Amino acid sequence: MAGTIDTANYTLGGAQLYFETTIAHASLLVATEFAKTSRSLGNITTAGITPEITYVDHIVTKKGKQVKDKTAAGMSSLRVNFTFDEMNSTNLGRFFMGSVSAGKVNVLSSVLDEGSGMLVMTTDVGRDMVYRIPKCTIKPDGELALPGDTWHTAPMLIEVLEYQSGDTANTTLNATWNALNTIAPMLRNLHSKLCEFSKNLIREGMAILSQAEMETSLKVQRLGMKLSLQDMLIISPRAQSILIG
């Protein structure tokens, strides 16, 4: 809730990125189907989302002084910046805009890839979230760092593009945020209530067992018999009706 401090809103975790060279891929609406290993961009060391907006300002001039009295968003775009450190041929092919053949990258021999993307944020603290992007392009965004004393890394970006229905036969939504565990607190609360209800039900069931049934149970214990749950239900028909009826 806005204006209310809630520690459940604090988030600590990392991001995973997935990309497929098919615009509005049919499985994009289901995170578990799209987020396959074959579409993964590998280990992402850093990631961030940057809105880029060009503003159009209106200026009025009064007595030789210019004052801005109105501003509006002219062009807007969104980019997902990330850095990877897995120097495999697929990632390097995208970074160098090259075609890949038999493990070799022919640099600057290809055009930018367009397709579908997904940013998945998973964490033990806060909300897991997924950002579905039906149309985007992937670009290099800086130098491939080659230090001698630490891991090599390369920066890239996914630029979100406006999805048009004519881009593909698949129907989907434009880039959208979804909180994966928005209903998780409700489910946890429901699970807790169900567990408590089950405990109360068992306690109540045991309380109404007849004296004869209790004596039967004691006799079984004295004989040292190890009975299954089904055996116990046969001995105690009333318990059967309580537990599964």
pLDDT in tens, 188-217: 454 555 566 556 655 555 555 455 555 655
- b/e map 200-216, b = 16+ CB within 10 Å: eeeeebeeeeeeebeee
CA 166 to chain centre: 27
Residue 173 DSSP SS3: coil
Tell me what the mean pLDDT of segment 62-82 comes to: 92
Q: Which domains does the chain have, with CATH numbers?
A: 7-181 (2.30.110), 187-244 (no CATH)
Percent of the chain exceeding pLDDT 70 equals 65
Which of 187 and 117 is assigned the larger pLDDT?
A: 117
Query: What's the CA gap between 79 and 157, in Å, rounded?
Result: 6
**How far is residue 205 from each of residues 125, 153, 163, 191, 199, measured CA to CA in Å?**
39, 63, 59, 21, 10
Q: Quick check: 135 and 23 in contact, CB under 8 A? A: yes
Tell me what the mean pLDDT of segment 220-237 comes to: 44
**How far is residue 226 from each of residues 2, 84, 200, 212, measured CA to CA in Å?**
57, 58, 25, 20
Which of 166, 176, 139, 186 minimizes the C-alpha distance to 31? 176
Q: Mean pLDDT for the chain?
A: 77
Q: Quick check: 15 and 119 in contact, CB under 8 A? A: yes
Report whether pLDDT(145) > 50. yes
Per residue in 153-163, pLDDT (tens digit) is 999 999 999 88
**How far is residue 177 from each of residues 20, 119, 132, 205, measured CA to CA in Å?**
18, 10, 7, 47
- CA 22, 26, 30, 36 torsion: positive or negative? negative
Q: Quick check: 159 and 114 in contact, CB under 8 A? A: no
Tell me what the mean pLDDT of segment 163-173 comes to: 57
